[in-house]
Amino acid sequence: MDKKIVQPISRPVQGACGVTGTWRSQRPILDTSLCNGCLICWLYCPEAAISREDRDIDFTYCKGCGICAVECGKKAIRMVKEEIK
C-alpha cells in the first residue's frame, strides 16, 4: 500500500463547466418592490444562481433560462434581451 495510486478524483468548484453566464441571450431583472420573498425562484433555479437571502442573481453563471420569470407568482421578474454595450 505504499505506492500512490493516481485516481481521477474531482472536487466541487464554481464554474466547473466555465463561466456559463456567457450562454445567456436573455437577462432576468428582479423588481424588488414586487417580490414577496416566497423563494420559488430560488428553489427552481437550475443553476442555483439566485440568492436565498435577497434574490440577488449571480450573472456570472445565470444562463438566462427564464424559469424564474415564468414561475414568479408576483411577476417580479421579467426577461430582457441581453445586449453587449
Partner 1 sequence: MKIKDLSTLEYITPGTGACAGCPSTIGLRIIGKALGENAIGFLTPSCAVASMGLTPQTCYTFPALNICFASAGASAGGAAMALDALYRKGKLQGEKPVVFNWVGDGGTYDIGFQGLSGSAERNDDYIHFCYNNEAYSNTGNQRSGATPQFALTTTSPTGKEIGQKNMPLLMLEHRPPYVATASLAYPMDLYRKVEKAKNITGFRYIEIHMPCCTSWRFPAADTIKMSKLAVRTGAWLLWEGEYGKLTLNGVTASLAEGRRKPAPLENYLKPQGRFSTMFKSPDKDKHLAFIEYNIHRELEFMAGRAKLLK
Contact residues for partner 1, defined by CB under 8 A: 8-20, 23-24, 38-40, 42-49, 52, 58, 60-61, 63-67, 69-71, 79
Of 52 and 75, which CB lies nearer to partner 1 in the complex structure? Answer: 52
CB of 50 to partner 1, least distance (A): 10
Closer of 23 and 35 to partner 1 (Cβ): 23
The amino acid at 7 = Q
CB of 58 vs partner 1, minimal distance in Å: 6
- How far is Cα 26 from Cα 62, in angstroms, rounded to an integer? 10
| Beta carbons of 55 and 34 less than 8 angstroms apart | no
Q: How many CB atoms lie within 10 A of CB 21?
A: 19
Instruction: Give least dist CB 14 to partner 1, A.
Output: 5
In the block, residue with C-alpha cell 444562481: 49
